[in-house]
Amino acid sequence: MRKLAAAFLIAFLAHPAPIFAWGGPGHSLVARIAEAQFTVAVRARVAAILGPERPMRSVASWADDVRRTRPQTAGWHFINIPMTAQHLEMSRDCASGDCVIAKILDFRKILKDPATAPEARAEALMFLVHFIGDMHQPLHCGDKNDRGGNDIRVKLADRDTNLHSVWDSGILARMGTEDQLFPGLAAESAKRAKKWSKGTVEEWAQESYVKAKSKVYGKLPPAAPGALAVIDAKYEKMANPIIREQLEKAGARLARVLNETLQ
Q: What is the CATH number of the domain that holds 168?
A: 1.10.575.10
What's the mean pLDDT in 2-31? 58
Judging by beta carbons within 10 Å of its beta carbon (0-12, 13-18, 19+), is residue 123 exposed, middle or buried?
A: buried
Q: What is the number of structural domains in the chain?
A: 1
Question: What pLDDT does 10 receive?
Answer: 40
The DSSP letter of residue 69 is T
Is the model's pLDDT at 6 over the cut of 90? no
Q: Integer distance in angstroms from the first to the last C-alpha of the chain? A: 22
Domain encompassing residue 17: 2-261
- Per-residue pLDDT, averaged over 163-189, amounts to 97
Q: Is 82 helix (H, G, I), strand (E, B) or coil?
A: strand
Average pLDDT value for the chain: 92
Burial environment of residue 175 by CB neighbours within 10 A (0 to 12, 13 to 18, 19 or more)? middle
Q: Is the pTM of this model over 0.85?
A: yes
